[in-house]
Amino acid sequence: MSTEEASLPPRPGRARRRIVRYGALLAVLGLAAYFVQDWVVRRQTHVYVIDSRIASDIITIGAQDGGVITELPVGTGDVIRRGAVLVRIDHRELDLQIEEVLARMSRLPVDRARLEAEMALTRRQVEAATEAARARIAVAEAERTSVEALMAQATRELERAEQLYRRKVVSSRAVDDARADFADLEGRMLRARAAVLAARAEQRQAEAERDRIDVLARQIELLEAERPALQARLDQLQTRRDDRDIASGIDGVVDQTFIEAGEYVRPGQRLLMIHDPDNVWVAANIKETELGRFRVGSRAIVRVDAFPGREITGRVTWIAPAASSVFALLPNPNPSGNFTKVTQRVPVRIDLEGAKEGLRPGMMVEVAIDAERD
């Protein structure tokens, strides 16, 4: 370059480009300073969490009784209403048992009427037999009384004949006749006494039949006691039968099914999972060092990763009484004595106040909780 070229002033185009570069650099630096300042200010006024998730009450539907799946009217993603049948399990065997119990219950009035009729018949038979026995006792006692009178007379006649025979007034034949009459009356006396005993035995036997009336009365009481037992058995079978038609207890959506129609399921087996899409919230794990900056009732802003630019307002409604590490399945012992301090996380629930359309459990969200100002 010659001395003249070196002494020339800089070209206007080069100067403008230099000004533009400096201006752009200053603008970038100013914008960066603005965002850094905004970031710092926001970190002072809010508690930020970027690894939070949408949560809901996921309900697992299980089988209370075993059997074959006869119907599965819903599938994954289906919207369901409260009371809608989700799964039907074969209940034909229970229907037969219910019919059997109903038949036994319908037979109770018939059995009661039969026992009451038998008890009335037995009562009439006992009364008739007792009256007949009493009549036979009266006849037998009258016969015995009559024979006793004849026996007394025959005894006197025999004694008289013997005295006359000793005095040679009558012959021995008269004494023999008197003895024969006495012996005949003695036999009649024994028969009369036996008849009295037999009649009294018949009376006791007739009165013993009254115990059968008591037995029939106890059988009627057992029938009445069987009714509530059968009703309880019927209620139990009906409950088991109703449990085989598994219905939804909420308005919601089916998250996942684990069975197919025709499959045999065991008691307690997991069948499907549902949740209420209107009952969702944000589950956030907050650093323990940030807990003092907010409280229950603090306002929060939720940004959903699936919907950029969408913000949902919420409120902190619950702060866990213990850190997540307390409930870890695998404890973290420190037998060596080497200690590394790790900031613990505390679960926090944030209830949403804005629209919840499209929010699904498990979605990632970012949360900004208003910090309390002194």
Average pLDDT over residues 84-101: 94
Residue range of the domain that includes 196: 93-243
Q: What is the CATH number of the domain that holds 214?
A: 1.10.287
pLDDT recorded at residue 88: 95
Residue 128 has pLDDT above 70, yes or no: yes
309 occurs within a structural domain: no
Beta-carbon contacts of 7 under 8 Å, excluding residues fewer than 6 positions away, are none
As for how many domains the chain has, the answer is: 1
Q: What distances in angstroms separate CA 37 from CA 26, 32, 81, 123, one per listed residue?
A: 16, 8, 50, 108
Comparing 98-112, 175-189, 349-363, the range with the smallest average pLDDT is 175-189
Residue 164 has pLDDT above 70, yes or no: yes
pLDDT recorded at residue 33: 60
The tokens for 99 are: 């019919």
* CA separation for the pair 207, 129 (Å, rounded): 8
Comparing 90-99, 100-109, 114-123, 327-336, the range with the smallest average pLDDT is 327-336
Give me the percent of the chain exceeding a pLDDT of 70.
Answer: 87
- The residue that leads in pLDDT, 369 or 35, is 369
pLDDT recorded at residue 11: 55
Average pLDDT over residues 259-276: 93
pLDDT recorded at residue 19: 75
For residue 139, give the amino acid letter: V
The pLDDT confidence band at residue 2, using thresholds 50, 70 and 90, is very low
Residue 4 has pLDDT above 60, yes or no: no
321 occurs within a structural domain: no
> 3-class DSSP state for residue 310?
coil
Q: What is the pLDDT of residues 294-336, one digit of tens each?
A: 999 999 999 999 999 889 999 999 999 998 888 877 766 666 6
Q: What distances in angstroms separate CA 316 from CA 298, 313, 353, one per listed residue?
A: 5, 10, 11
Residue 42 has pLDDT above 60, yes or no: no
User: Is 320:288 a contact under the CB 8 Å cutoff?
Assistant: no
pLDDT recorded at residue 136: 77
Q: What is the pLDDT of residues 44-67, one digit of tens each?
A: 678 999 989 999 999 999 998 899
180 occurs within a structural domain: yes
Query: Considering the entire predicted model, what is its pTM?
Result: 0.61
169 occurs within a structural domain: yes
The pLDDT confidence band at residue 337, using thresholds 50, 70 and 90, is low
310 occurs within a structural domain: no
Residue 1 has pLDDT above 50, yes or no: no
Beta-carbon contacts of 104 under 8 Å, excluding residues fewer than 6 positions away, are 230
175 occurs within a structural domain: yes
Which secondary structure element, helix H or strand E, spans residue 241, and what is its range? helix 210-243
Other beta carbons within 10 angstroms of residue 9's beta carbon come to: 6
Mean pLDDT of the chain: 83
307 occurs within a structural domain: no
User: Is 371:289 a contact under the CB 8 Å cutoff?
Assistant: no
Residue 374 has pLDDT above 60, yes or no: no
- The residue that leads in pLDDT, 181 or 76, is 76
